[in-house]
């Protein structure tokens, strides 16, 4: 009975953590259960490279706890905080990753491989729209941060 209770408690904690992620915050409890069933949670120490610029990607990541840095060509360009997600473009476009993401602190990361990602997009109503809005927001931010041509 203790193992089942522990598993149920961990499942509820993961569901609660996912509900705090802006991408999933408007999901129903049922939708969060679907996501929790597919996501693989890992804990990593500082300085662990999560994704590497130039490599082909096969997963989408959600930072559940901790901070990570984003760098391009060896220069830090951003900090990712708990609740942020990254890597989804690799599941939509097979181009190499355009940045490296490195754990800045101890991190807890939810990982969705291509099969799990596709299952969530299929089984969670509205997830396609949420992802497209998140990508559009990220592209707008990148455009705003890009220096104006001289």
Model pTM score: 0.82
Residue with tokens 């900090």: 79
Q: What does the DSSP 8-state code read for residue 96?
A: P
Number of structural domains found in the chain: 1
Specify the pLDDT at position 95: 87
Host domain of residue 23: 2-145
Give the C-alpha separation, 52 to 68, whole Å.
Answer: 13
Each residue's pLDDT tens digit, 65-95: 999 999 999 999 999 999 999 998 888 888 8
Give the C-alpha separation, 126 to 124, whole Å.
Answer: 6
**Proportion of the chain above pLDDT 70, given as a percent:** 87
Alpha helices in 20-150 (DSSP H): 29-38, 89-92, 114-123, 127-145
Tell me if 87 is assigned to some domain.
yes
Tell me if 150 is assigned to some domain.
no
Which has the higher per-residue pLDDT, 16 or 132? 16
Tell me if 107 is assigned to some domain.
yes
59-65/67-72 β-pairing: unpaired
Which has the higher per-residue pLDDT, 141 or 45? 45
CB-CB neighbours of 14 under 10 Å: 20
Over 80: is that where the pLDDT of 119 sits? yes
Angle at CA 103, nearest 5°, toward 98 and 104?
Answer: 115
Specify the pLDDT at position 108: 96
Tell me if 120 is assigned to some domain.
yes
């Amino acid at each position: 009975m203790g193992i089942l209770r522990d598993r149920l408690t961990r499942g509820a904690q993961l569901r609660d953590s996912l509900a705090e992620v802006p991408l999933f915050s408007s999901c129903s409890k049922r939708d969060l259960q679907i996501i929790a069933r597919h996501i693989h949670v890992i804990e990593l120490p500082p300085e662990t490279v999560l994704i590497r610029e130039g490599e082909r990607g096969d997963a989408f990541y959600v930072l559940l706890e901790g901070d990570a840095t984003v760098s391009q060509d060896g220069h830090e360009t951003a900090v990712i905080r708990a609740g942020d997600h990254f890597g989804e473009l690799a599941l939509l476009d097979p181009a190499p990753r355009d940045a490296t993401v490195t754990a800045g602190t101890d991190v807890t990361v939810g990982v969705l491989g291509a099969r799990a990602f596709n299952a969530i997009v299929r089984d969670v109503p509205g997830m396609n729209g949420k992802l497209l809005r998140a990508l559009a927001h990220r592209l707008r931010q990148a455009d705003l941060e890009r220096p104006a041509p001289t």
